Structure formats: C-alpha cells, structure tokens
Structure 1
Amino acid sequence: MAKTCAVAALIATIFCLSSLLNLAQATSETFFVEGKVYCDTCRVQFETKISQPLADSKVRLECRKREGGELKYSFDGTTNSTGTYRLPVDGDREEEICEVVALKSSRADCSDLMAGYERARITLTKKNGLASIARYPNPLGFMIKEALPNCIVILAEMGLVPLDL
C-alpha cells in the first residue's frame, strides 16, 4: 500500500512539474513580425508590378496599452536587400495594440509617406486561432517624388485610369 501511494505521489509530482514547465514556456512565447517596405513608383498608393523593394529602410514595432496608449514594447529594425524585415516580439500581447511603423526610407527620391500606409496593425497573441509564431502585417510604402513615365501603361493594363500622374 505504501509503495502504491509513493508511486502515485511521484506520478502526481511529475505531472505538476511538467504542467509548470509548459506554463513557463507558454508565457515566454516569441513571435516574429515579418513584412516588407516598398517604393510606390506610380504614386497610386498600392503595389504595382514596377513597385520596388526598399532595402535598408527603417521600421519600428510598437505595442501600446489599449487604454491610455502607454508604450509597452518597441523594437526597431531595418529591411534587408529584398525590402523585408523580421522583428522579434517577446511574450503574448493580447491586451495591447501593436503596429509596425515605417520610419525612414533608404532612398531620397522615394521618401514621401503614403497616408494610411505608413503603419500596419498586427495581432500578437496565440489566443486568436493562429498557430504560427510568424505574423504578417500589410506592406508599408513610400512614394517616389514623380511617377515613372511607364506608369500609364501599367495602370492601363490593370484597367485603371490615371487621375493625376
């Protein structure tokens, strides 16, 4: 009888310890926010086939409290040669509003921020049904100072009539 109780106590202890280890692992979850920054060469505020990736551009991930807007997490990053970035995020951010913000273009001729496309909101929690640790916000963009001449052809191919090029 004593052996049975000892074995049961040992199994219960192992079960409790494994539960604690899983809890510790769940709270130290790391996410990766992966996105891209591009140059809108047609000044239409969306990507076209002649949009260009912006290497070495600066972005920032900011997470703020839903109430009050207090900054809780911030991480700066730089795009690689393909205009993509990968920012690590420690912990679940269910109670925060997180956004990736375009800070600085790497090109002087393509540095106009696009209204409404200078930031992208992202959900950083496991409690929304997404199993992956990678999160993909909408692309961020800057506009070129003057639209390229071949934009009229590109937009016509898309069935769009240019209003102001």
Structure 2
Amino acid sequence: MAKSVQAFLPLIAAIGFLSFLGFAICDETLFIEGKVYCDTCRTAFVTKLSQPIHGAKVALNCRDRAAGDVTYSLEGTTDELGSYKLAVEGDHEEEICEVKLISSPMDGCNEIVPGLDTARVLVTSNNGISELSRYVNSLGFLKAKPLTECAEILKGLGIFPSMIPPIVRQ
C-alpha cells in the first residue's frame, strides 16, 4: 500500500502546483485604456479636427456602491497620442469605477464640462472578458473658441449649431 501512495505523490504534487498556477493566472493585472482629446469644435464628440492632448492628467476612482466612499484611486498621464494606460491592482467587481479628467496642459483647451468629463468602466476579470485591457470612451477638454473650419465640418455631418448641447456651444 505504501508503494501505491508513493506512486501517486508526483501526481498529487503536480495537481497542487497546477491549481496554484491557475490561481496566479486569474489574479492578473487589468489595464484601463483611453484617450483624451481637445474638442476644437465644442461639439462634445470627436471630429476630424479634434487634437490629442499630450500630458493630460486623468484619474481612475472606484467607489463603494452603498456608501459611495472611494476605495481605490489611481492617476495617469497621456502620451503624445493622447492615450493613457493605467495598471489596476486587484478586482473591483463590487465597486463603481470611473475615469475622470483632471487637467490639460494645452493652452486654450483646458475647459472641463461637468457630465462630459467622466466615463464608467468595469474593473473586473469576472465578467466573461478574457482581454486584460478595458477600454474607456474618449474624454475631451473644450477649446475656448471653436476653430473656423468647424462650421464646414459640422455641415458636412448634417449637424446644425442648434443640435449641439447648450452646455458646450458658445
């Protein structure tokens, strides 16, 4: 009987190792990715005249669903393409997580519009998505005055000034 138990020891050790390895793989880092742009036409959406903002600051904040207290926070900065990538520690399945604009270094394009400055994101690996990156809608700062070319761009899209939300148009 002792020989039969010894024969199974390597198998038992291998199963234990593989279960530990599976646990380690499931606890991988998630990445939150998005872009920040300058809304040069003050439309509240990206146009072909929009410009990426290099050096913009964003923050990821996760809050407790019941109390609303911040449970996790992380800041990041955009690269020359206006992109950011935040490495998130832990799983935040039971929390409400949002990326929020903090600041823009671009002169003349640093106005934040409440309601257009945040985007929600699911920060969990327990949602059927095998990809480790979670992509967030683009966030934008408003240019102080729209570019003159914007009228033509918007006309080509079939958009009239009255169609643009009053909070962003001037």
* SS at structure 2 position matched to 1:23: helix
Moved more, 109-118 or 36-45: 109-118
Partner of 1:148: 147
CA distance in 1 between partners of 2:30 and 2:131 (Å): 8
Residues 1:81 and 2:80 aligned together: yes
Alignment partners' CA distance in 1, 2:86 and 2:159: 35
1:111-126 mapped onto 2 (5 Å cutoff)? 111-126=110-125
1:18 is displaced (CA, Å) by 2.2
Residues of 1 paired with 2:75 and 2:94: CA distance? Answer: 21
Partner of 2:19: helix, strand, or coil? helix
Task: Give 1:79 shift.
Answer: 0.6
Structure 1 equivalent of residue 89 of structure 2: 90
2:160 maps to which residue? 161
The AA in structure 2 aligned to 1:73 is Y
Aligned pair count reads 164
Q: Aligned residue for 2:21?
A: 21
User: 1:11 is matched with which residue?
Assistant: 11
1:77 and 1:87 in contact (8 A); partners too? yes
Q: Within 1, Cα distance between the matches of 2:9 and 2:52?
A: 60
Q: Give TM-score, length-normalised by structure 2.
A: 0.89
- Give the superposition deviation at 1:144: 0.6
The Cα shift of 1:10 comes to 3.3
- How far residue 12 of structure 1 moved from its aligned partner, in angstroms, is 2.0
Distance 1:63 1:115 in 2: 18
SS in 2 for 1:14: helix
Superposed counterparts of 1:97-112, under 5 Å: 97-112=96-111
Question: Residue 116 of structure 1: CA displacement?
Answer: 2.1
- RMSD, aligned CA: 1.5
Displaced runs of 4+ in structure 1, greater than 6 A? none
Query: TM (normalized to structure 1)?
Result: 0.92
The answer for unaligned runs of 5 or more in structure 1 is: none
Structure 2, unpaired ranges of 5+: 163-168
Of all paired residues, the percent bearing the same amino acid is 43
- CA positional deviation for 1:149: 0.9
In the other structure, the counterpart of 1:39 is: 38
Question: In the alignment, residue 21 of structure 1 is paired with which amino acid?
Answer: L
Query: Residue 124 of structure 2 aligns to which amino acid in structure 1?
Result: T
Partner of 1:130: 129
Letter in 1 for 2:14: I
Secondary structure of the residue aligned to 1:98 is strand
Q: Is the 8 A contact 1:45 1:114 kept in 2?
A: no
